Amino acid sequence: MTYSQRLYPWAVVRLLPKMQRVVVGRFRNRSDAEGHMQALKRLMPDGKFIIVFDIGQGIEEGSSEENRE
């Protein structure tokens, strides 16, 4: 996850068939994400959308005290 993506942790995700998903937009706060999702639901009533808080993984992915020995 890039630094700019970490600045926008709230994501609106469109759920697609066969367990697929697409991130439609990223936002700094939940209320902005909810407003965008409401607009999307009005434009695409058959679409399924969810809001997720995506903090990604830490900067030191996969490193631990055991790996440093």
For the stretch 10-66, pLDDT in tens is: 999 999 999 999 999 999 999 999 999 999 999 999 999 999 998 876 555 444 444
Question: What is the pLDDT, as a whole number, of residue 4?
Answer: 75
**66 domain residue, yes or no:** no
Question: What is the pLDDT, as a whole number, of residue 59?
Answer: 53
Domain extent for 46: 1-51
- Taking the model in full, what pTM does it have? 0.74
Question: What is the pLDDT, as a whole number, of residue 16?
Answer: 97
Number of domains into which the chain is organized: 1
**56 domain residue, yes or no:** no
Interatomic CA distance for residues 10 and 21, integer angstroms:
15
**58 domain residue, yes or no:** no
Q: What sign does the dihedral 18-20-24-26 (CA atoms) show?
A: positive
CB 30 within 8 A of CB 10: yes
Per-residue 3-state assignment (H helix, E strand, C coil) for the chain: CCHHHHCCCEEEEEEECCCEEEEEEEECCHHHHHHHHHHHHHHCCCCEEEEEECCCCCCCCCCCCHHHC
**62 domain residue, yes or no:** no
